[in-house]
């Protein structure tokens, strides 16, 4: 096998590993919630650990931090909300419904890229928009309710907003070509910490002292932090070598992982309309991947 083939194989592994991490990371967060640690507090500490560990490893690059453009602050805050809202949604909501609402993100990406980045929307993109909206309508439709199909609770609204935030983060990152992988990664991690600190007083959630955590709590949060660091860098490595069309399809592996994990770790089940709507949302993600002729 050539060196190029080895690099491509590792790039595919990186994307699948990232999808695997995000497909199961909800479970340790739920364990923390069951132990009395809210999602905001556990997110603050896990991302603090990630910043500390990566900061030590990349200590030589800290001197350039004050030369970064102000635009990185907006990227940091949007990415921070994206990650925090995802964690809060996945703790309190049904895993697959939240995941599928999050995976409406290709719809938002197409719209944002069209109007902000001035990218053309081709026929597959139009099909993705129509299919994703139809899938969301079918999944959220409740014959017992007279209202228009919308997310049924706070967790689902958070999942939907996280998907929009993810799309906005991707578009902002694509505009920020002047930023390095390290800068973007640290912006995301510190952004979560900042958004957590802003959200705590608003949601009346006190910041727990580090001394109240058990060794088991620290072990779980440390494991999450390591997964976050590994997933971030491996995914970024993967997307630099794998075409966007193929990468987007590989990311759908997250839904497979989440479905299997939810089946064995929870008692959640999906109704027929959720299966149909979910299938259409997955199909829309594939259509959206082929909107870019790369």
Report if residue 16 sits inside a domain: no
Q: Are 100 and 277 in contact (CB under 8 A)?
A: yes
Report if residue 14 sits inside a domain: no
Report if residue 4 sits inside a domain: no
Q: 170 vs 139, 149, 173, CA distance in Å? A: 25, 27, 5
* Whether residue 99 has pLDDT greater than 70: yes
pTM here? 0.85
Q: What is the DSSP string of 20-62?
A: HHHHHTHHHHHHHHHTT--HHHHHHHHHHHHHHHHHHHTGGGG
Q: Are 153 and 93 in contact (CB under 8 A)?
A: yes
Residue owning tokens 């001394």: 211
Across all residues in the chain, what is the average pLDDT? 83
Q: Are 253 and 84 in contact (CB under 8 A)?
A: no
Cβ neighbors of 67 (< 8 A, separation 6 or more) are none
Taking only the tens place, the pLDDT of each residue in 203-236 is 999 999 999 999 999 999 999 999 988 887 787 7
Report if residue 27 sits inside a domain: yes
Taking only the tens place, the pLDDT of each residue in 189-209 is 899 999 999 999 999 999 999
pLDDT at 201: 93
Report if residue 1 sits inside a domain: no
Six token digits for residue 43: 């997110």
* Whether residue 61 has pLDDT greater than 60: no
C-alpha 145 chain-centroid distance: 30
Report if residue 185 sits inside a domain: yes
State which residues form the domain around 156: 23-289
Give the count of beta carbons closer than 10 Å to the beta carbon of residue 143: 6
Domain count, the chain: 1
Distance CA 220, CA 269 (A): 27
Report if residue 10 sits inside a domain: no
Cβ neighbors of 204 (< 8 A, separation 6 or more) are none
């Amino acid at each position: 096998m050539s060196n190029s083939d080895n690099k491509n194989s590792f790039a595919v592994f990186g994307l699948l590993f990232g999808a695997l991490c995000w497909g199961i990371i909800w479970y340790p967060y739920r364990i923390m919630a069951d132990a009395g640690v809210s999602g905001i507090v556990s997110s603050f500490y896990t991302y603090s650990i990630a910043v500390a560990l990566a900061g030590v490893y990349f200590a030589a690059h800290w001197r350039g931090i004050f030369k970064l453009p102000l635009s990185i602050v907006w990227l940091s805050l949007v990415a921070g909300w994206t990650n925090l809202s995802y964690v809060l949604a996945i703790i309190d909501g049904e895993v697959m419904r939240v995941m599928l609402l999050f995976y409406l993100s290709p719809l938002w990406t197409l719209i944002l890229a069209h109007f902000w980045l001035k990218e053309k929307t081709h026929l597959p993109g139009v099909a993705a928009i129509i299919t994703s909206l139809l899938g969301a309508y079918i999944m959220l439709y409740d014959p017992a309710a007279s209202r228009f199909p919308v997310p049924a609770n706070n967790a689902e609204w958070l999942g939907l907003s996280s998907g929009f935030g993810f799309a906005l983060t991707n578009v902002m990152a694509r505009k920020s070509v002047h930023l390095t992988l390290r800068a973007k990664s640290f912006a995301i991690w510190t952004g979560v910490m900042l958004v957590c600190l802003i959200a705590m007083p608003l949601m009346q959630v006190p910041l727990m002292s580090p001394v109240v955590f058990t060794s088991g709590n620290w072990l779980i949060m440390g494991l999450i932090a390591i997964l976050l660091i590994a997933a971030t860098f491996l995914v970024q490595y993967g997307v630099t070598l794998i075409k966007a069309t193929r990468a987007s399809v590989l990311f759908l592996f997250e839904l497979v992982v989440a479905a299997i994990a939810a089946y064995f770790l929870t008692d959640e089940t999906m109704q027929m309309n959720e299966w149909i709507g979910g299938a259409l949302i997955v199909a829309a993600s594939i259509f959206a991947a082929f909107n870019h002729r790369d």
